[in-house]
Structure formats: structure tokens, C-alpha cells
Chains A and B, each alone.
Chain A
Amino acid sequence: MIWNETKECMSRDQMTNLQSARLVKLVDYVYHNVEFYRKKMQAIDLMPGDIKSIEDITKLPFTTKDDLRDNYPFGLFAVPNSEIVRIHASSGTTGKATVVGYTRYDLDVWAECVARCLSMAGVGKDDIIQIAYGYGLFTGGLGAHGGAEKIGATVVPMSTGNSKKLTTMMVDFGATAIACTPSYLLHISEVLENEGLLDKIKLKAAICGAEPWTEKMHKEIESKLNIKAFDIYGLSEVMGPGVACDCQYHKGLHVCEDHFYPEVLNSATLTPVADGETGELAFTTLTKEGIPLIRYRTKDLTSIDHSTCECGRTSARISRFKGRVDDMLIIRGVNVFPSQIEAALCEVEEVTPHYMMIVDRVNNLDTLEVQVELDSKFYTDEVRAIESLTKKISHVILQALGINAKVKIVEPQTLVRSEGKAVHVLDKRKLY
């Protein structure tokens, strides 16, 4: 089912015209309401009137995650707080969170986009959907929730952390859909299997996102649970889940292009590449009021396809992600930058600044091990001292990143030294 045929199936010409009109309006809006953009445009002698159509977008400056950090917390907001009705936040590259604000209109658009995605997955008002993304500052839970309510489904706000309750309710309620991270769903499928509940569920569709997953995982989820699984994409800076989603043909993720203008850029020149070529994805939020972003660089690598999909939608499709431009990791749905670990370890005087992160997936759940070296001043002859130190470091990491890490103290001089760009991460999951 197509939720909004007018917008999702309009001709390319109509879409370009709509995007052009919205971009012109957006540039004028940010110029007058966001000092950051006004200064950036003035620095390159660009006036709002210079942007006449969507083709002119390449004249505009980029926005990065660092810009959000530098303007923490509300510096990039285009409206006063009286207009902001919700705040979300995700991890920044260092200590500070990336904060985004939504007006009531922004929340309506968000729900609309998620509604389109759920419809692509065949979820409608007769369905019972369990939302098993975290509710809170993370956009996953509340974002998916808003869209599921909009389509009129029966929404069960599970959040994360209690697999037993989730599987019990899945069976007892006869849930027909679930939204969660793909790795969590694989874990759930194992719980169901172990409890002999696999043939008692009524699940037919899963909308999974917030972390990269492979075609292999996709197939495994579908065959194990006997359902259809769909890939939903989003990032809090741009909105949250619902920026794009794949349809039943799984030929790339349909971008809600009338709200988010996608560009795929050559990594070296930062100019748009042709359809089918790999590059970095950037989004311009065409209709956002709270924190509109111009050419926000996602650091995700993908390719784009503007041809009409077999499902009838004309919206541009981005391919399954091919990697990252930066060193960000997604662990259990949480964005993690090695620099955050580095900053956290600086608070612990007992260890040297050298570290190694080992990311793996055990029983379909992500694990993070952080290896550190003891500083020579803190060598000890007591096991207890080392064990309490590992606990302390785990705690510091949990506070900084919001995830549990296993800390391992290793012998001195065994971790890679920072010579230029040291390798601090060993990701054994092979997600791309």
C-alpha cells in the first residue's frame, strides 16, 4: 500500500519543481533565522536570492556533525524554544551530545514519513505493532511510535531491554509487526525458538533500522520468523527513522524526497556523482522548522537511483549502505566514535591513553571490548586492584557512551601507538 500517492509517485519533473520551491523558501528561512547559516552564506557572498532552483543547491555550504557540536545545544535552531515541542539527542564525536529540536509541524512531518515507511512494509491500521527501539533521547522509539499511531495501528511501546516480556506479549497480543534493530530481532527470534514459541506468533513484518545489516541477516530474519523484513533509515540530525525505507521489492530505500533532498557526493571533490556511483550521502531538510540543515553530510556511503521502482513509487532510492566515511561505529544501535572512548579514558589516570576497541557480534548481540594498558605508576600486586579498575573504566565508558563495554587490561606496550592514523578499532562483525 502507498500511504501518500501524490507525493510518493509524482513525476520527476513535479518533484524537482516541488524541491526547487521548497529549497528557495528554506534558504530564505535559514538566512533570516539561523545566524550560523547567514554567516556561512555571507562569507561566500551568497544571498538567498541566488538560489533559484534545486540545481543551485551545490552553491550552498555543507553542514557537519561538528557544526552541531560547536553550536551546542540550541545554536542551530531556527525558532525560539516556545515553538520547540520535543528534543532528541544522539552521541557526538566527543563528550557533547548532538541535540535536535522539533516543532509541532516537524513532528507531523516525521509521523507522515514513518507512516509511508510502515505502509511500504504492508503495515496498516489493522496491525498490532510492537515498537522495540529505545524510547527516550534516542529517536528510534518515539519516532517509530508517532508514525505507527498515524496509520492507526495498535501500538505497543515495548522499548528495549526485556526480551521475555516482548516475546510473551508478541504471542499473547498476536502482534503482527515489530520495529527494532535487526540484531535485536535476531536475538528475539532465538528467544522465541528456545521457548518453543516460533509457531505461536502472528508476526508478518519487521521494520528494522538504526544500524547497518547485511543481506545475510535480512534473509536469516525472514526465514527464521517467516516474515518480511524491511530496512528503515534515518538519523537524528535530519529527523530520525523514516528518512528512507525499502519497499517489498528491496531495490534500495525510498527517500521521502519532498522533505529531505538527497545528494550523493564524490568523497574527494564533494560534487554530486551520477546515479549508481558510490559516494557520501548528504541531506537538505526541505521543510524542517526546528533545526533545518543544509547539505548535512551523513558520512554514510551509498549510491542513488532516480528511476521509477516496480512498486510504482518515483522517489529516489538509496542503496544499502556500503560503509562510512568516518570511523563511527554503530553498536547495539548506539553511535559510537572511537574519539569518545579516548576522551573517556583520559579521565582515568591509572591507564595510558592507548586503547583498542574490539567489536563483535555474539549470539546476534553486539559486544564491545576495550583494551587498555595500565600506567606504570599503577602497577599492582593485587588482583582486586585490577578488577576494581576494570569496573571503574567500564563505568566511565557507560557514562560517556551509554553502552556496556568489557574492559580488558593488557600488558604495557602491546597496543598500537598513534602514529598518524592509528587503528583503534577491530570490527569483527563484517556489516558492509
Chain B
Amino acid sequence: MFAKQLTVFIENRNGRLSEVLNVLKENNVNILSLSLADTTEFGLLRLIVDKAQLGKDKLQESGFSSLLSDVSIIEIPHKAGSLQALLKVIDNNGINIEYMYGLSIGSSEAHVVLKANDTKKVDDILTENGVKTITCEELAKL
């Protein structure tokens, strides 16, 4: 199962990140997790939100380059070694991870957001191995 990640391209200028967050606030879009990939010239803000499509549209209207892309939100036990075990499965299948970031809610489960070079394949492998993936909406309810 895929989840929709919202990505925003941001130039490294003062206050730009805050302007993005303001658009989301105005439209009552709640952020569940985020990661900011930064270079000297620009940043890519990757967000898991409760209303991805709305967030994308509103950001676009405000002049931001926003994009929805498929990622896997993977549920893993909230204990030492579980992420490593997950990566072993992924590595063994010859998949490259483009990027990954985490969030942990509650005490028993943690979640990682993962984007691989082959989104479809990683989804199949996770299913085959009984690893649970969830959507943004499900995540929002946790």
C-alpha cells in the first residue's frame, strides 16, 4: 500500500519554509511527519500530511512547486533492531533506498517513510514479508 507524500521545492531564502507552513495552516492541513533535504542552493521539504491533495493544490495556488509522490509508510515494532531487520529484507532484494525518515507515535509501533528506486517492487516485497504499510489517513487516526 502506498501513501501520498507532499514534496515542496524551496529556495534557500529567509522565511520560505515558514511561508509553506503558513499555507498548510490556513487550510487546516496537519503535518504528521516531515523531512527536509537541504543543499546549499535549495531544499526539498517532504511532508506526510492528513490531506495531501488539498495541501498540494493550495501550495500550487500560492506559487510553490508542490508534488505528490508514492512512498511507503511502514509500521515496525518500536524496539531496537526492528529497522535494521526491515532494511535487511530490502537490501536482500536489491532495492536502493532513495531516502527515508521516521516518526514514532505511541509506545508499541514506530513508522518509517521510505522511498525506493522501485516503488512497486518494494511494496510487493513488504507484503510478501508480512510487513504492514499504511496510508496517511490511517496514520492520522493513530
Contacts and interface: CB of A to CB of B under 8 A. Distances in A.
B66 interface: yes
A413 B64 CA distance: 9
Interface in A388-429: 408-414
Nearest to B16: A411
B115 A410 contact: no
Contacts of A382: 44, 98-99, 115
Contacts of B10: 411
B44 A381 contact: yes
Contacts of A379: 7, 9, 65-67
Contacts of B37: 383
A412 B44 contact: no
Given A379-B67, A381-B69, A411 B9 contact: yes
A380 interface: yes
Contacts of B41: 408-409
B137 interface: no
A89 to B, nearest CB: 34
Interface band, chain B: 20 to 34
A374 B44 CA distance: 13
Interface string B1-27: 000010101110000100000000000
Contact of A409 (B42, B46, B64): B42
B39 interface: yes
A412 B63 contact: yes
A376 interface: yes
A386 interface: yes
Contacts of A66: none
B63 A413 contact: yes
A368 B32 CA distance: 41
Interface residues of A, number: 17
Interface in A354-400: 374, 376, 379-384, 386-387
A414 B115 CA distance: 29
A184 B129 CA distance: 63
Nearest to A379: B67
B23 to A, nearest CB: 13
A324 B18 CA distance: 43
A381 B101 CA distance: 13
A198 to B, nearest CB: 34
A383 B11 contact: no
Interface in B73-104: 98-99
A411 B44 contact: no
Contact of A374 (B39, B65, B98): B65
Nearest to A411: B11
A383 B115 CA distance: 13
A391 B63 CA distance: 25
B67 A380 contact: yes
Given A410-B11, A411-B10, A411-B11, A386 B42 contact: yes
Interface centre among A381, A383, A409 (most CB of B within 10 A): A381
Interface centre among B7, B10, B63, B65 (most CB of A within 10 A): B65
Nearest to A386: B42
A374 B99 CA distance: 22
14 contacts: A374-B9, A379-B7, A379-B67, A380-B44, A380-B67, A381-B44, A381-B46, A382-B98, A382-B99, A383-B39, A386-B9, A386-B44, A410-B11, A414-B11
Return the 9 tightest CB-CB contacts between A and B, nearest first. A381-B7, A379-B67, A381-B69, A379-B65, A413-B63, A412-B65, A383-B37, A411-B11, A408-B41
